[in-house]
Amino acid sequence: MRDEVRLLGLVIEATSADMGVSEVVQRVANLVTEATGSDVCFVHLLDEERRCVVLAGATPPFDQQVGKVELALGEGIAGWVALHAEPAVVPDKWQDTRYRYIPALRGEDYASMVSVPMLIPRGRRVVGVLNVHSKNPRDYGAYDLALLTQVANLMARAIENARLYQRLAEREEMLESFATRVIEAQEQERRRLAGEIHDGISQRLISLWYHLLAAEDGANAPDSDVVKRELAVAKELATAALEDARGAIVGLRPTTLDDLGLGPSLESLARSLPVEDVSVELETVSLPPHVEVALYRIAQEAFQNVVKHAGATRVELRLHRDDDGVRMVVADDGRGFAEDRSGGSANRHAYGLLGIQERAELIGARVTVTSLPERGTTVEVLLPLP
């Protein structure tokens, strides 16, 4: 009992320390091995999106394999435990059909094992799996199972908190970056509008003023053609100035969203592309105004990327609602690019995808970008709905 209390105290101390997920996992793995009299401990964390468990911590020398070993959900004993959220006591793993041999983990050196899920109590949600192995045949008893279960549940809470903190930090960093980019974009937009007003609307209005003066001066002249000619030019200038003003207003706010809604606005945007073949499939969806604006701007940025970088001959735009939420897809058959598997952001910056990602984050949507050189690019935005 004293050893159990000591172990749980050390685990609580480790999980409460200001450490990242990998450090917590590594320290607890060492503690569990010692406390249970086992020879090695592996900690696998669940990757929900990829539906697999990934080795996140292990006692030496297997700590060198962290991040390199993966099991699909349901594969191997660890995958089975993660899928079913139930522990597995295996006195002889070679007789267990669930066991999968992994050369890098030298399974031939170990005879028995026990695997327990790391559970969040609410909803019994699996965070990962805790495994201990013994070189000699061993029947792990109820005491070992209960002790490992307590340790696993403590780890689950610590890992969940660490992940939430990491996500919060990433979100704050993204929001800060987005705020900076918004300010920069606002300043650029102000300069652009100032230039358009000065070079376009203002110049046309000045010319209009001079032609109206000329018409006024010619009003008393015997040649009435002068007045007609000056008024005709003034009319053309007024029309052009009005078109410039409308263009500037549309640049600030897509009025079609207010007048027609998201679907027709997206279709109008797609049909305006200088691309040979444009396919549009839109389903009517009802969303808050700020979400519609965000999706419209995301599509606008995606189309700009197509025009600037893709060299595409075909573009597809799809918007529909399914069981997961509202899904918007922009796909092209252009030159594409090699995706950065290391998680870097070079490609996202180069193709203007960072702005799309940031806009999506602000409305709680997820962005998936799929691309291959000379095979085109697909940008998918999924907005989960209650």
Sign of CA dihedral 278, 284, 290, 295: negative
pLDDT surpassing 60 at residue 147: yes
Q: Are residues 107 and 24 in the same domain?
A: yes
Write out the residue range of the structural domain in which residue 308 sits.
255-383
The percentage of residues in the chain with a pLDDT greater than 70, rounded to a whole number, is 80
Q: Give the count of domains, the chain.
A: 3
Contact status, residue 327 vs residue 381, Cβ threshold 8 Å: yes
pLDDT surpassing 60 at residue 342: no
Single out the residue of 156, 87, 38, 78 nearest to residue 69, CA to CA: 78
Q: Are residues 6 and 155 in the same domain?
A: yes
pLDDT surpassing 90 at residue 77: yes
Sign of CA dihedral 253, 258, 263, 264: negative
User: What's the rounded Cα separation, in Å, for the pair 150 and 335?
Assistant: 53
Q: Sorting pLDDT into bands at 50, 70 and 90, what band is 13?
A: low
Last residue of a domain, one of 224, 252, 280: 252
CATH number at residue 330: 3.30.565.10
Q: CA-CA distances (angstroms) from residue 69 to 104, 105, 119, 300?
A: 8, 9, 21, 41
Single out the residue of 63, 40, 29 nearest to residue 135, CA to CA: 40
What does the pLDDT read at residue 223? 64
Q: Are residues 225 and 278 in the same domain?
A: no
The residue that leads in pLDDT, 1 or 314, is: 314
Q: Are residues 73 and 26 in the same domain?
A: yes
User: What's the rounded Cα separation, in Å, for the pair 284 and 298?
Assistant: 18
Q: Are residues 37 and 158 in the same domain?
A: yes
Q: Is 19 helix (H, G, I), strand (E, B) or coil?
A: coil
Contact status, residue 44 vs residue 65, Cβ threshold 8 Å: no
CATH number at residue 124: 3.30.450.40
What does the pLDDT read at residue 142? 87
Q: Are residues 221 and 112 in the same domain?
A: no
Q: Are residues 178 and 131 in the same domain?
A: no
pLDDT surpassing 90 at residue 319: yes
pLDDT surpassing 90 at residue 382: yes
Last residue of a domain, one of 252, 283, 316: 252
pLDDT surpassing 70 at residue 84: yes
pLDDT surpassing 80 at residue 118: yes
Q: Are residues 235 and 267 in the same domain?
A: no
Q: Are residues 120 and 185 in the same domain?
A: no
What does the pLDDT read at residue 346? 42
Chain Cα centroid distance, residue 110: 40
pLDDT surpassing 80 at residue 116: yes
Q: Are residues 64 and 185 in the same domain?
A: no
Q: Are residues 147 and 205 in the same domain?
A: no
Q: Are residues 227 and 269 in the same domain?
A: no
pLDDT surpassing 80 at residue 360: yes
363-385 mean pLDDT? 89
Indicate whether this model's pTM tops 0.75: no
CB atoms within 10 A of CB 339: 14
Last residue of a domain, one of 129, 150, 166: 166
227-244 mean pLDDT? 78
